[in-house]
Structure 1
Amino acid sequence: MLGPVELWVAGRPVDLGPAKRRTVLAALLADAGGWVAAETLIDRVWGEDPPAQVRSTLYAHVARIRRVLVDSAPHLRGADDDTAAAASLVRGPGGYRLDVSRDLVDVHRFRGLVGRARGAGGSDAGRVATLREAMGLWRGEPLAGLPGAWAARTRETWLHQRIDAVLAWADAELRLGGQVVVVDTLSVLVAEHPLVEPLAVALMRALHAAGRAPEALACYTALRKRLADELGTTPGAEARREHRAVLSGGAGTAPPPSRPSSRVGVIPAQLPMEATGFTGREEELTHLDKVVAADRATAVVISAVSGTAGVGKTALAVRWAHRARDRFPDGQLYVNLRGYDPDRPMTAAEALVRFLTALGVAGQDVPLEEDDRAARYRTEVAGRRMLIVLDNAATVEQVRPLLPGTGSCAVLVTSRDSLAGLVAREGAHRLDLDLLPVDAARTLLRRLVGPRAEAEPDAVDALAAQCARLPLALRVAAELAVARPGTPLADLVDELADQQRRLDLLGADGDPRTAVAAVFSWSLRQLPADAAHAFRLLGLHPGPDVDAYAAAALTDTGPADARRTLDVLARAHLIQRTDTARYGMHDLLRAYATRLATAEETPGARETALDRLFDHCLATAAAAMDCLHPAEAHLRPAAPETVTPVPDLSDPDAARAWLDTERPGLTAMSAHTATRGRPTHAIRLSSTLYRHLVSGQHTDGLTIHGHARDAAREIGDPVGEARALIGLGIAYWQLARHEPARRHLQQALTLFRQADDVTGQARALVNLGLVDERLGRFLSAVEYLEQALVLYRRMDDRLGEATALKDLASVESQLGRYDQSADHLRQSLSLLRRTSNRYLEAHALSDLGAVEVRLDQLDSAAGHQQQALTLLREVGDRYGEAGALHGLGLVHTRRGRHPDATECHRQALTLYRENGDRDGEARALNGLGEAARAAGRPTDALTHHTEALTIAEDIGSPAQQARAHSGLAAAHHSPTLTAHHYHRALTLYTQLGMPEADTIRTNLADLTGTSSF
């Protein structure tokens, strides 16, 4: 099996015939000893387009395989085994079952050996021997020559399992001193699988341990280039740690001893709360226990918990996940895919962002494309013992990118669909969830209703039947009974019966969901009219949840009334709290509310409600931005008039909290308005949130600005499109994706010129200057910024002029034009103070302090950085705060205050990482290295500069690369390594035209005793 599909009898292979027949045998052997449905076999062998007479063809192949097995039974042996064994192919209600000892099937032997090696206890020598035996079962490509999607996916899964086993063997072998054999084996595998990052990391570790540091560094460089070229991403944390270890110049070390948890790092715990009063489902819970216990350690197992809406799929999945969480010490991931949301299901790409963030991947390191995100996700979970719950999936395509590539994780998927593709192609275990058993439904009602239920057992049974034994309906009905304590349950049963008869007359077809609709409808009839009206309108909201102000806008009421209405709906279990002040809806309830709104609200009323909601969101967003950035209010579109109040966001903390909390809803609003006939709302939202989105919200910024660009194109608004392109360009720039940043900004510049929008042209030019500055194209950056300065002065735009002067001064400083830079910064500060722009004033103060360090004006530099820091903290700009801390750290280093310098740079580093600013991260790390070197801690300096160099190389920041090389040269004791780093720094500084080149040239001359550099 771990090579071509072969049947061996008495030490000789048997001719099995054509590829389709061998695929049938492989499909049966993959589940040896278990039933495989005929439909599954057809899907595995013929895919989505089987021939007309496929069942007859399948029967013929099965008959031929059965005949071969019958003829071979007395002599059937493994390829390396002399023990006779029986094999038979039987047919039954469940399909076909191939009864054969798993010890005769290589893939199952392999999994058994790997599982034994992973078991607790045992020596490295024993583990190595077991894993070598497992690896020896591989004889080329698995399922070689078999066509079709199932064979391809299975082949990929088994290859991942092989890689897992090889990595476990390599770790154990290195601990025993087997560096040579590990290097030889992994070199071959890395060549075969160049994008599998854990293999490259293991090879680096083996080379380092073998004393071959240059080859280890070359391995990392090659990995980084492959990932950048083919996936658009960078090496993960483990690769970067190994790279730093090699660069630090220490001796290679073996991996740490194996431990129950395979990776140290972020351990997510994302499971939601269990449903109160969970009842029954013991058989299903036991089934999940068995599936995971049997297969999780050796295969990717997906248990697709399917069933009709409201049957309790999520409750079961969460219940089991909490019971089993101790089996997954590396964490639990959870996402609600909202697959049946009538407005906007979550895409796999969005879910991957959430997972990667939860796994500790910084925002700037999250790839932009879905395939690249999925690859990075598989890398992050490789070898981890994790539980991944994918709730409310609609399609197989929504799930596949979220599946890990190795067998150490268990995946639980809930869906109303059977997800047959996962069963057929990925080997998922299906668990079809039926209605609650009668006893369990009765017990749930008794728990929720209380003692009254004991007194009316017949009414309880009738109510359970009326609710079709669906947990969601049972909970809603029970809450109504509790809310009417004086009404006998029998009377409530009669009322519900009347309501169900009305629905039956409207065409009910026996679908259990009809019972849910009946219970919902019955519950709504008991509500006040305003609450029922609010429920209908809440179904129109495109976001995941609402607060009282948004509900008030939808319903045209006040926040206090809306809050009371939300509480009424929550008590009726028609909505649920997501936190203390926000409410969400079950997807089935949302669909029901939307259906009611369509049926009972006029189109004009629905559109008016959405207009109120979206105007409210825009107005509140504008209020938040006016609080945080008042000097830029004229750059944002005017806030719409609202008929309902907005929250008080006059406090900066409240404004930021609202923006952060509402970001998912605002993103959903952007998508809805851009595609559902309100393009101007999408365009205005993008412009309103621009300054907030550049403060670290890169992924949402790409989404919101992208929708705005598309909406502007749709209605022929070139200026709106250009402004959205500016937002996209800056988001890409902050993500260190410089080429797409430049492309979007150039497109914006072209559109602004076509529209004769001079202000827009100047904005685009300034931002193009920022991109070129980052890339070390300083002369080009100066040209862009000087053009922008001319335009701003022509328009007498003082804020724009101040911005251009400030950014121009930053470039001039790097070119060594310190006096000119300081002069431009003072001009900028004067203009900014006249425009009362405290945000940009703080940035200009920080930049001036940095230039004054270059001019050796340390007292003035310290004063300006401290002023900047105070202002930046007042306005809540954590990006700028990090820059001021870095600048203050440089002052402290020059003054010899090493502990203060280290503390400033550490704080800056934390903020840069939180903000997702990788260029800033490299700056802070270089600052830490310089402080450590000045304090006489060369080992710490090596560590910091090495990490800075890794980041700077990843993002293409030549100035920070040069700074890191210079720091490494000064910190190394080895003359050879010192000369190497000085040469690299000199080359970079000379190319950039930076004055540091002269200092490096002098240092090299002193080191080598020559002036020929």
Structure 2
Amino acid sequence: MTFQVPPGTAHFVDRATEQAAVLAAVADRPERTGPLRVGLNGLAGVGKTELAFRLARTLRDRYPDGVLFVDLDDLRQDGTVDLSDALGELLRALDVAPDWLERSFRARCRQYWTRTDGKRLVVIVDNARFGAEVVPLLPASDASLVIAVSHGPLHDIDGGLTADLALSPFADADAAELLRSVVDDPRLTAEPDAATGIVRLCSGLPAAVHVAGRWLRRHRRRPLARLLTDLGTELHERGLPVVERVWDAAYRELGEDAARLYRLLGQAPGRSFTAETATALLGRGRDAADDALEELESAGLLDGRRERMRMPDLLRAHAARCAARAGDDGGERERTEALRRCVRWFLRQAQRADLAAAGPRLTLAPEAPELPGAPDVEFGPGTPAAGGPPADPKGGGHRWLEAERHTLHACVRLAHRLGLDAEAWALCEPLWTHFLDHPRHAEAIETFRVGVLAASRAEDLPALVRMRCQLARPLWEHGEHEAAERELAAAAVAADALGASERDRKLAASTREFRGMLHAARGRWEAAAADYEEARRLHAGIPNPYGVLLLTYRMGEAVAALGDLPRAVALLTEAHSAARDMGRERMTARTGFALGTTLAGLGRAAEAHALYAAALDSARRRGSGHDEARVLDALAALAEGTGRPAEAHEHREAARAVRVRHGALVPPA
């Protein structure tokens, strides 16, 4: 069971009325179509998300199939959420492997409905701005509960909300109770007027009360009246918004490193960060970063309960204002140096993770150097794969790329804004590897377009060829064939201007291959075969044996699609033998499967069966459910065509079981 909710806070008061209303709605809900819908809205810092988490923990026994959480602000770009991406996050939480995720938004909706049908789930959708952002994320089961968290009411949710609860700031009595639970301090009793003044300065926002409580603990010897005067002076002199005077007071008490890290975190790329990211920003080593993070957490300026930390938007904006108010030593120069260091650190880690995940391959960017004060990440081993081998064969590098993908995409845009064009397009190379395993097309298209702009501005012709090719694939897979064709035409012109080095010749061959793949995607197999043949010739002239192998395989598929099965058999036999000789297990299985399919078309069933059986063994060894299901389908068709219906049924049922296990869309049996 998935339970995506952090541990409860040590101090929680009030909200009894709201909790009772939700519990009553759960207990007494009327018969209706669709899940129970609850809305929590209110000001930033009022405790909406924490209440949603508390409700989920309270109700987990009623909803035994899991608690899912998605923060739409993590997926928001320029105010807009890619809801296909949000569905992908929820489907992954429901144990759908990345290569089984449907590509289109509509297909992902169907996949999500299938995966949630009949389940008793809690789904928390945080930071929704419109009801239209929540509706596609509603599970299919009437027995589920959805908690939508927003700053304002969500009037446009289809079917309405069963309970729509507006959270007001705490009354003074509740805020005082929370303050006493956060800090057990006799001064709160001894100086009641000053204690009341501090409570009122927090404006009833739990986030501010927590900061004030930690601030009181830090200054045990100061009278509350003095602390209150300091806060009041801050308010009158600076005219800050009400809650910020508490945060300003906490910020002024930070040590040098903690204050600097706080300023920088307000401008860091990505919505969340790890201790390693904080270390890279600060640039003073892990120990200094850990000390600064602990100090920020103690001051109430950071929630460190999760491995991936996040500053709420209100605090992030406050940190940015602190940076803007800083002098020369803490202003623009500090920010620029830190962000440049952060981009270069992420580039180095992404290159290392890419190498660990995909192995050596053609890359153009030089290896980014190690950075003083920002040590490398230890990726660690892979994670066990459900129904597959003991561990993810791509290991911790693959997991790191997935965990940091939001930040890596943000770093491409940041690098381009900072004028770091070489770093911007270089980051696109590991993101390309990640895209092939986790195709999120809108995100990839936006980022690779920036890569094209960066390579163009840097006047780096090989990089420009590479970036245009990388952009073309997500374009055509997203249905934008004409745009992809324009990118590849421009890449071909640039490739013609390249030199005669081995790298340049590989790029020219790769550009021709990409053009052939676009033709294949459009069903233009004759043009695809011609491009593949030319690319193979270029690889042979380098020489690049693996390139020859790959293009021979692609040619075989294209020729088979054109109906020339005998020639396809010759090409695929050549590719299959070369893959086996090179020890390329995955390519051996792919070429063997394609050869088997072609032989089956020629009536050579026994040879096809042997190749399918070998491909099936390989898929199971590699833990590739996608390949396993595809081979089982082929075995079923082969058995059906040779008069063995019982065997065909067995293979089809096995393929269906694989797809169900991995969360694929499966038609009813």
TM range (shorter): 0.7 to 0.9
Task: State the distance in 1 between where 2:167 and 2:542 align.
Answer: 68
Task: State the distance in 2 between where 1:456 and 1:889 align.
Answer: 86
Paired residue type of 2:227: E
Residue 435 of structure 2, aligned match among 665, 674, 693? 693
How many angstroms does 1:572 deviate by?
Answer: 2.4
How many angstroms does 1:542 deviate by?
Answer: 2.4
Task: State the distance in 2 between where 1:949 and 1:722 align.
Answer: 42
Query: Hey, what does 2:651 align to over in structure 1?
Result: 944
Shift in CA distance, 704/563, structure 1 to aligned 2, threshold 3 Å: farther
For structure 2, the 5+ residue unaligned runs are 382-394, 499-504, 600-606, 660-669
Write out per-residue CA displacement over residues 654-693 of structure 1, whole angstroms, 9 at most, x where no aligned residue. Answer: 4334323322321333455567876654432112332343
Residue 284 of structure 1, aligned match among 18, 21, 28? 18
Task: State the distance in 2 between where 1:907 and 1:797 align.
Answer: 28
Query: Hey, what does 1:506 align to over in structure 2?
Result: 238
Q: Is the 8 A contact 1:307 1:434 kept in 2?
A: yes
How many angstroms does 1:942 deviate by?
Answer: 0.6
How many angstroms does 1:774 deviate by?
Answer: 8.6
Out of 305-314 and 283-292, give the one that drifted further: 283-292
How many angstroms does 1:420 deviate by?
Answer: 4.6
Q: Is the 8 A contact 2:75 2:85 kept in 1?
A: no
How many angstroms does 1:730 deviate by?
Answer: 4.8
Q: What are the within-5 Å matches in structure 2 for residues 220-231 of structure 1?
A: none
How many angstroms does 1:526 deviate by?
Answer: 1.9
3-state SS, counterpart of residue 53 of structure 2: helix
Residue 536 of structure 2, aligned match among 789, 804, 809? 789
3-state SS, counterpart of residue 613 of structure 1: helix
Shift in CA distance, 844/325, structure 1 to aligned 2, threshold 3 Å: closer
Task: State the distance in 2 between where 1:343 and 1:518 align.
Answer: 29
Q: Is the 8 A contact 1:341 1:590 kept in 2?
A: no
Write out per-residue CA displacement over residues 49-71 of structure 1, whole angstroms, 9 at most, x where no aligned residue. Answer: xxxxxxxxxxxxxxxxxxxxxxx
Q: Percent identity, aligned pairs only?
A: 25
Task: State the distance in 2 between where 1:384 and 1:850 align.
Answer: 37
Residue 466 (str. 1) matches residue 201 (str. 2): yes
Shift in CA distance, 627/761, structure 1 to aligned 2, threshold 3 Å: same
How many angstroms does 1:540 deviate by?
Answer: 0.9
3-state SS, counterpart of residue 304 of structure 2: strand
Task: State the distance in 1 between where 2:57 and 2:555 align.
Answer: 56
Residue 726 of structure 1, aligned match among 462, 466, 469? 469
Residue 618 of structure 1, aligned match among 324, 328, 347? 347
How many angstroms does 1:269 deviate by?
Answer: 3.4
Shift in CA distance, 845/380, structure 1 to aligned 2, threshold 3 Å: closer
Task: State the distance in 1 between where 2:177 and 2:3 align.
Answer: 31
Residue 703 of structure 1, aligned match among 428, 443, 446? 443
Write out per-residue CA displacement over residues 44-89 of structure 1, whole angstroms, 9 at most, x where no aligned residue. Answer: xxxxxxxxxxxxxxxxxxxxxxxxxxxxxxxxxxxxxxxxxxxxxx
Task: State the distance in 2 between where 1:798 and 1:741 align.
Answer: 33
Write out per-residue CA displacement over residues 366-392 of structure 1, whole angstroms, 9 at most, x where no aligned residue. Answer: 455556645654565466544332222
Task: State the distance in 1 between where 2:306 and 2:42 align.
Answer: 28
Task: State the distance in 1 between where 2:121 and 2:399 align.
Answer: 32
Query: Hey, what does 1:431 align to over in structure 2?
Result: 165
Residue 177 of structure 2, aligned match among 430, 443, 446? 443
How many angstroms does 1:531 deviate by?
Answer: 0.6
Shift in CA distance, 363/671, structure 1 to aligned 2, threshold 3 Å: farther
Query: Hey, what does 2:217 align to over in structure 1?
Result: 482
3-state SS, counterpart of residue 698 of structure 1: coil
How many angstroms does 1:523 deviate by?
Answer: 1.4
Shift in CA distance, 627/384, structure 1 to aligned 2, threshold 3 Å: closer
Shift in CA distance, 407/590, structure 1 to aligned 2, threshold 3 Å: same
Q: Is the 8 A contact 1:331 1:387 kept in 2?
A: yes
Write out per-residue CA displacement over residues 469-521 of structure 1, whole angstroms, 9 at most, x where no aligned residue. Answer: 3211111222233345x425xx245224313322223224xxxxx34312211
Query: Hey, what does 2:336 align to over in structure 1?
Result: 607
Query: Hey, what does 1:494 align to over in structure 2?
Result: 226
Query: Hey, what does 1:151 align to over in structure 2?
Result: none
Query: Hey, what does 1:669 align to over in structure 2?
Result: 411
How many angstroms does 1:849 deviate by?
Answer: 6.8
Q: Is the 8 A contact 2:425 2:454 kept in 1?
A: no
Residue 589 (str. 1) matches residue 323 (str. 2): no
Q: Is the 8 A contact 1:393 1:413 kept in 2?
A: yes
Shift in CA distance, 889/519, structure 1 to aligned 2, threshold 3 Å: farther
Q: Is the 8 A contact 1:539 1:590 kept in 2?
A: yes
Q: Is the 8 A contact 1:445 1:453 kept in 2?
A: no
TM-score, normalization: structure 1?
0.53
Task: State the distance in 1 between where 2:75 and 2:358 align.
Answer: 39
Paired residue type of 1:560: D
Q: Is the 8 A contact 1:371 1:401 kept in 2?
A: no
Residue 521 (str. 1) matches residue 245 (str. 2): no
Shift in CA distance, 944/819, structure 1 to aligned 2, threshold 3 Å: same
Write out per-residue CA displacement over residues 680-711 of structure 1, whole angstroms, 9 at most, x where no aligned residue. Answer: 544321123323432x2212x65235322255
Larger Rg: 1
Aligned length: 619
Q: Is the 8 A contact 1:785 1:807 kept in 2?
A: yes
Query: Hey, what does 2:604 align to over in structure 1?
Result: none
Q: Is the 8 A contact 2:122 2:144 kept in 1?
A: yes
How many angstroms does 1:588 deviate by?
Answer: 2.1
How many angstroms does 1:810 deviate by?
Answer: 6.7
Shift in CA distance, 593/889, structure 1 to aligned 2, threshold 3 Å: farther
Write out per-residue CA displacement over residues 727-782 of structure 1, whole angstroms, 9 at most, x where no aligned residue. Answer: 3555588xxx5x83866664443122222256444213334555777999876554
Shift in CA distance, 677/705, structure 1 to aligned 2, threshold 3 Å: farther
Q: What are the within-5 Å matches in structure 2 for residues 614-653 of structure 1?
A: 614-628=343-357, 631-632=360-361, 634-636=363-365, 638-639=367-368, 642-647=371-376, 653=395
Q: Is the 8 A contact 1:348 1:398 kept in 2?
A: yes
Task: State the distance in 2 between where 1:401 and 1:592 align.
Answer: 33
Task: State the distance in 1 between where 2:377 and 2:135 align.
Answer: 44
Task: State the distance in 2 between where 1:479 and 1:370 align.
Answer: 45
Write out per-residue CA displacement over residues 761-819 of structure 1, whole angstroms, 9 at most, x where no aligned residue. Answer: 42133345557779998765543321102223445555544543454467679934556
Query: Hey, what does 2:629 align to over in structure 1?
Result: 921
How many angstroms does 1:538 deviate by?
Answer: 0.7
Q: Is the 8 A contact 1:725 1:744 kept in 2?
A: no
Residue 740 (str. 1) matches residue 479 (str. 2): yes
How many angstroms does 1:944 deviate by?
Answer: 2.6
Task: State the distance in 2 between where 1:809 and 1:651 align.
Answer: 39
How many angstroms does 1:412 deviate by?
Answer: 2.1
Residue 537 of structure 1, aligned match among 235, 255, 264? 264
Paired residue type of 1:723: R
Residue 753 of structure 1, aligned match among 492, 501, 511? 492
3-state SS, counterpart of residue 576 of structure 1: coil
Paired residue type of 2:406: P
Out of 937-946 and 599-608, give the one that drifted further: 937-946
Q: Is the 8 A contact 2:424 2:454 kept in 1?
A: no
For structure 1, the 5+ residue unaligned runs are 1-266, 509-513, 833-837, 857-886, 895-900, 953-1013
Write out per-residue CA displacement over residues 338-393 of structure 1, whole angstroms, 9 at most, x where no aligned residue. Answer: 38999877543432221233345554564555566456545654665443322222
Task: State the distance in 1 between where 2:230 and 2:75 align.
Answer: 29
Task: State the distance in 2 between where 1:722 and 1:292 align.
Answer: 57
3-state SS, counterpart of residue 243 of structure 2: helix
The one of the two structures with greater contact order (alpha-carbon pairs below 8 A, sep at least 6) is 2
Residue 572 (str. 1) matches residue 299 (str. 2): yes
Q: Is the 8 A contact 2:515 2:531 kept in 1?
A: yes
Task: State the distance in 2 between where 1:630 and 1:715 align.
Answer: 24
Q: Is the 8 A contact 1:889 1:904 kept in 2?
A: no
Shift in CA distance, 784/715, structure 1 to aligned 2, threshold 3 Å: closer
Query: Hey, what does 2:512 align to over in structure 1?
Result: 765
Residue 547 of structure 1, aligned match among 257, 271, 274? 274
Paired residue type of 1:727: Q
Shift in CA distance, 374/928, structure 1 to aligned 2, threshold 3 Å: closer
Residue 558 (str. 1) matches residue 285 (str. 2): yes
3-state SS, counterpart of residue 388 of structure 1: strand
